[in-house]
Amino acid sequence: MHSFTKIVLNPIGFVKTNAGGDEVRNSSLISQIVLRDDLIKGLDGISGFSHLFVLFYLNQISDEQRKTLKIHPRGRQDMPLTGVFAARTMLRPNPIGLTLVELLNVDGNILTVRGLDAFDGTPVLDLKPYDFWDKIENPKVPAWWKKLNQGNCKT
Amino acid sequence: MHSFTKIVLNPIGFVKTNAGGDEVRNSSLISQIVLRDDLIKGLDGISGFSHLFVLFYLNQISDEQRKTLKIHPRGRQDMPLTGVFAARTMLRPNPIGLTLVELLNVDGNILTVRGLDAFDGTPVLDLKPYDFWDKIENPKVPAWWKKLNQGNCKT
């Protein structure tokens, strides 16, 4: 078996938003990503894409919370108890957030995006452009997912 | 400005594949993810989803390579010099891979997946289910992307 080496990462920037609490879950929320100055060249050509994946570090999750293995999706007791790898919960062994956002503007080291559900000051780990390999025509999702997202679901 | 705290992660498992070199780029490649035994409960309900995002650590990337800010997509000189955040290259400040795979089977702590472009022994950081929020109907991509993926492109 492989050795379980620890992995060390450094933020590439931070999230800037005035939204707090549940407001960050609003999919029309506009926020900013402030990239480290020394990484600006890494953005060249990014505005050729309409959408990006933002990978960020959920720094409000405690070591204790990282041990969580099952949750009720979105904390709702009417949802089945589900493994953390079968949900997009923040509670997971490696608390990395992954959100698909719309890229609205790039100005120097500031990216303006729509739909980023991350709090102010959240460390950003990576940005990746969305392309057609990320688009699945008919993904299968469980019944609970459809119920949870009824009304604001893209299906 | 925020302090640039380092972030420490532990692998949740490892990739198992017989494929080497460019073989791993074959989108029909079937590989396995061997999850840590202590995390098995985190998989409950995962087979309700047809597709997963796999986040993995590109442990073959050196500290020097992490400093790369511009690349030619897939190393092709006929492609424009592009920022690493505008490409899915392995060369990036935080070498985290993100690949969308088809989930074929789950047996205990072993997931069998199709389309994972990661080498044998690659540390896996997270698994996230793909849902309809991850599907963009008409994403915009640059001309170079279309040229690069001509023939095997999903567009």
Cβ separation of A82 and B45 shorter than 8 Å? Answer: yes
The C-alpha atoms of residue B29 and residue A139 are separated, in whole angstroms, by 19
Q: Residues A16, A32: contact at Cβ < 8 Å?
A: yes
- Considering chain B, what is the average pLDDT of its residues? 93
As averages over each run of 10 residues, the pLDDT of chain A (155 residues) reads 72 95 89 98 98 97 95 96 98 98 98 97 98 96 95 55
Candidates B14, B119, B95, B99; CA nearest to A5 is B14
| Closest to A116 in 3D by CA, of A43, A45, A15 | A15
Q: How far apart are CA B102 and CA B147, in angstroms?
A: 25
Out of A8, A85, A130, closest to residue B127 by CB: A85
Distance of CA A42 to the CA centre of its chain: 20
Nearest to B141 among A48, A127, A149 (CB): A48
Query: Of the candidates B57, B82, B85, which has its C-beta nearest A7's C-beta?
Result: B57
What are the structure tokens assigned to B58, written together? 């590109």
ipTM for the complex?
0.94
Are residues A42 and B69, on separate chains, in Cβ contact within 8 Å?
yes
Name every chain A residue with its beta carbon within 8 A of the beta carbon of B51.
Answer: 136, 139-140
Tens-place pLDDT, residues B54-110: 999 999 999 999 999 999 999 999 999 999 999 999 999 999 999 999 999 999 999
Phi, psi of B15 (to 5 degrees): -85, 140
Q: What is the pLDDT of residues B3-42, one digit of tens each?
A: 556 798 999 999 999 998 888 888 899 999 999 999 999 9
The answer to whether the Cβ–Cβ distance between A121 and B2 falls below 8 Å is yes
Please give the Cα distance from A139 to A147 (Å, whole number). 16
